[in-house]
Amino acid sequence: MAFLKTRERSKERFSLLLLDLEEYYFEQHTAYHVATSSKKERKVRGSFKVCSRSVIFDPDDLTEPIIKIPLRDCKKIEFVEKENNPFNDPRPSAISISCVQVIYIKESNVIAPYRNERGPQKMTFQLDIWSKTEDVVQTLLQLHRASCLEKLGDQTAMIAANLQSRLARSSFDKNCFQSVAEKPHMECAVEMVLPLVSNPGHVCITDESLYFQPLNGYPEQVIQIKLHRVRRIYKRRHGLRPLGLEVFCTENDFCSDIYLKFYNTADRDEVYYYIATFLENHMTEHTAESYMLQWQRGHLSNYQYLLHLNNLADRSCNDLSQYPVFPWVLEDYSSAQLDMTNAATFRDLSKPVGALNKERLERLLARYRGMPEPAFMYGSHYSSPGYVLFYLVRVAPEHMLCLQNGRYDHADRMFNNIGETWKNCLEGATDFKELIPDFYGDDPSFLENKLNLDLGRKQNGSLVGDVVLPPWASDASDFLQKHKTALESQYVSEHLHEWIDLVFGFKQRGSEAIAAHNVFHPLTYEGGIDCDSIEDPDQRIAMLTQILEFGQTPKQLFTTPHPQRITPRFHNMTRSSSVNSPLSELSSASQSEDSSFEDLTEESRKLAWAHMGNLKLFSSHKIHKEAVTGIAVTRDGAAIFSTSQDSTLKMYSKELKDFQRSMSFSNMALSSCLMLADGKTVVCSSWDNNVYFYSIPYGRRQDTLMGHDDAVSEMCWFDDQLYTASWDSTVKVWQCASDGSSSHKRSQFQLLAELEHDAGVNTIGLNPAGTLLVSGCKDGAITIWDTSSYTILQQIHCHTGTIHHMAFSPDSRHVLSVGADCCMKVTDVQTGMVISSVKAEEEQRCFCWDGNSVLCGGQSGDLLLWDLLSNTVTKRIPAHSGAVTAMWMSALCSTVITGGEDRQTIYWKLQS
């Protein structure tokens, strides 16, 4: 079980969980517990452990119980001097403790509720090293004074002073380095955080490893993590303060290799940046947006994506107040068979648990409306330490006993039945809990009472044993398998973004949360209260304890609507989607099943992009006198046309391997060119405000469109409609109808629409279906238009300078844009959210892409192959001696033609 992946030694019965919450284990000594009866003295060997609020004796004999004596219950702690009686055996010095309560734990080595024995008692312990006895007594007396202070704040301050003194008097033992050549970078005092407990010690980071050395030598003398094994690191807020650091040596596991809490943020940040700098050569740091892009395109499962979001939102399996939260996805826990083709089988993911039952919600809202500020709808949270251990009590009984002062919950309130638990979440007045990742994992042991724990007897007389499963699950493993399948199902994949909006996204707080009935107690939100600003230490500790035990809302990761996953449609669900717009129609169209020929073409494209790094230079030609601005190719690939700032359109014959024609329409630069569908006409845009139509069969200009008040920067063509972008801040849409059957006859141009912008339009692009247009301006704004109504669907200011080039992904879900700010940005069409942003070393001027990989032409003249999922350059191909200014790619991606400021046109072939 990942939850229990700790470093504790399996043979040792003692655990930090035997301590109270917020208690420290300081030191241990080999000792004897001396029990005196009326007949004889009995000595039990074991380990005497000094803790900040108690004394614990752990016997070597496993049949003997562990003894815990709370220091607050001690009346007298004495040093008993060594006794030398000539008539009896010499008695060594000892520690005598008079108390009013002793707690017995793990009697007969069975995990069970603790047995508290109240009443005056006297305990005697003899240390193996007699000389240390007096020092240990002095320590106990000091800690006893702290435990007996009236105010909790004073107690905590005195214990903290004792801890800091111990840490200051010790340091990391550099003899523990694995190599004599290791160079230490820094060391400082920290605490290793585990569920419900923390262990103080020293961290030391070298050029090879991260080391943690516990102050008490528990569970081992030193813990080492080699830096080259690290895959992910996260800064954490621990106890509402930015002091945590969590290190993972795996990519998709949700339990880390170590979680450290520092005593100041500066130390935490120095260790973080040292490791991050080391990792720059080994891996890429992922953001919520980069994970989102991977998830959207099916490179991450729903389970993996939720784990990554939890990690980014400060959720950790080592911090039960911020344990990873997963949704209930099913609503059917009563049928004999689970029908995942029926939407009614699934929970409505657009609503929080508290809003799923309309009648209960109305009662909660009535109370909410009459509540003084700050008002809240739900008095309990969807995730808290108590809820986590409610689910995990069968595999983590000691954690539950630690949380509840040595007791289990009442048998009828325990996790007994999955269907009943779901029913209570729907109907209970105060139960709004979600699930944990374990419900979608591979280990079913949390559903089975394999430890044969005595969890009590319910009111109906039955013992609490294994969790009762839904009728559709044959056993616990079958339940997990079907639950995992449900999480990855068509319905959940299509609606998971709605739940993400509630928990990690824009509906988490503010007016959107109110509208979504998603308002929890203000103390659960990050920044809801600054505990450090509370001057009274008792109030501050009480407030912090309340927050940690009550549950915490994850860090907000998204402030705009989360885009939907791209999913192929397999079934018609009966529950309708919440998306209803031209974009949703587009989604359906792009997901329809095409012919086998198209599938083969798509496979060919994927194969070509997978080998795009094998692009080889075929030939290069310098046929222009200025920078190349556009490239167009006839359907059969026989003729290549290019425009240039030298004002000419040139034609190059692939067959004759020479350029054949040169046309000049004006004395100003030509900015772009495109080939019409008939394969007989080339259209060129010019800085002289005009668009020129050139007839290939007749070898002459056939028409001129005087369309704009400033330079025409770029054009698009779809279904007899021409889209022209201009520096006059407009995009114009023209219907181009020929008045005869011959291509040399003049055409008639009807202006259909004029799309206004706030700045000069530098680039435009159409999606493959021609239903969407994207325009990019000199002020860094991109606008997405619906071409059927010419209305704006999205407008995003995502660049800080001119946008050089933009294009839709093949599935029309995303727009990629590059600009003068050296940034490459992926924008989600449906939500307008920038879901990926890459800062390149140089400006990228033009590109081709398949939705995942990008072939870019940069300012330096090199071609760069980018992997957008990892935000890394996978290949750099030397190309031009100046900036790459134009690029064309064949439909099957086997040929690429580039043009540059160096006046060259280069032909590239993909080598298989």
**Neighbouring residues of 66: CB distance < 8 A, sequence distance ≥ 6:** 13, 14, 18, 56, 57, 58, 59, 104, 105, 106
What pLDDT sits at residue 159?
92
In this structure, the number of other CB atoms found within 10 A of the CB of residue 525 comes to 19
CB 428 within 8 Å of CB 382: no
Q: Collapse the DSSP code of 903 into the 3-class scheme (helix H, G, I; strand E, B; otherwise coil) and give the result.
A: coil
- Three-state helix/strand/coil letters over 366-413: HHHHCCCCCCCCECCCCCCHHHHHHHHCCCCHHHHHHHCCCCCCCHHH
Write the Ramachandran bin of 246: left for phi over 0, alpha for psi from -120 to 50, otherwise beta: beta
Structure tokens at 590: 């792009």
For residue 572, what pLDDT is reported?
A: 41
Q: Which residues pair with 876 in a beta bridge?
A: 864
Task: Give residue-wise pLDDT tens across range 575-596.
Answer: 433 333 434 434 333 333 333 3
Angstrom distance (rounded) from CA 503 to CA 171: 42
Which H or E run includes 784? strand 781-786
Q: Is pLDDT of 606 > 90?
A: no
What pLDDT score was predicted for residue 573? 44
Q: Can you tell me the distance from the alpha carbon of 507 to that of 518, in angstroms, rounded to the nearest whole number?
A: 7
The pLDDT of residue 238 is 85
pLDDT(84) > 80:
no
Please spell the DSSP secondary structure of 721-763, one letter per residue: EEEEEETTSEEEEEEEEESSSSTTSPEEEEEEEEEE-SS-EEE
pLDDT of residue 531: 64
Which segment of 367-381, 644-658, 721-735 scores lowest on mean pLDDT? 644-658
Bridge partners, 737 (sequence order): 748
* Structural domains of the chain, with CATH: 2-167 (2.30.29.30), 170-285 (2.30.29.30), 320-550 (1.10.1540.10), 611-664+844-912 (no CATH)
pLDDT grade for 901, boundaries at 50, 70 and 90: very high
Provide, rounded to the nearest whole percent, the portion of the chain with pLDDT above 70: 89
Helix axes 288-296, 302-312, angle to 10 degrees: 170
Please give the C-alpha separations between residue 164 and each of 54, 171, 201, 202, 623, in angstroms, as whole numbers: 18, 12, 10, 11, 76
- Tell the residue number behind the tokens 């002020």, with chain if given: 779
Residue in the block written with tokens 């090199």: 862
pLDDT-based confidence at residue 225 (cuts at 50, 70, 90)? very high
Report whether 270 contacts 262 (CB < 8 A): no
> Measuring CA to CA, which residue among 324, 303, 305 is closest to residue 313?
324
pLDDT at position 743 over 50: no
pLDDT(558) > 90: yes
DSSP state of 63: T
User: Nearest-5° angle of CA 190, CA 550, CA 189?
Assistant: 5
Strands 223-226 and 232-238: unpaired
What predicted TM-score, i.e. pTM, was given to this entire model?
A: 0.78
Q: What is the mean pLDDT of the chain?
A: 88
The span from the CA of 316 to the CA of 308, in Å, is: 11
Decide the pairing of beta strands 730-738 and 658-664.
Answer: unpaired
Question: At residue 196, what are phi and psi to the nearest 5 degrees?
Answer: 75, -15
Tokens of 156: 């905590």
* Cis ω before 374 (30° cut-off from 0): yes
- Using one digit for the tens of pLDDT, what is the confidence trace for 650-683? 998 766 566 678 899 888 999 999 999 888 899 9
Q: What digits encode the pLDDT tens for the residues 372-426?
A: 888 999 989 999 999 999 999 999 999 999 999 899 999 999 999 999 999 999 9
Other Cβ atoms less than 10 A from the Cβ of 260: the count is 26
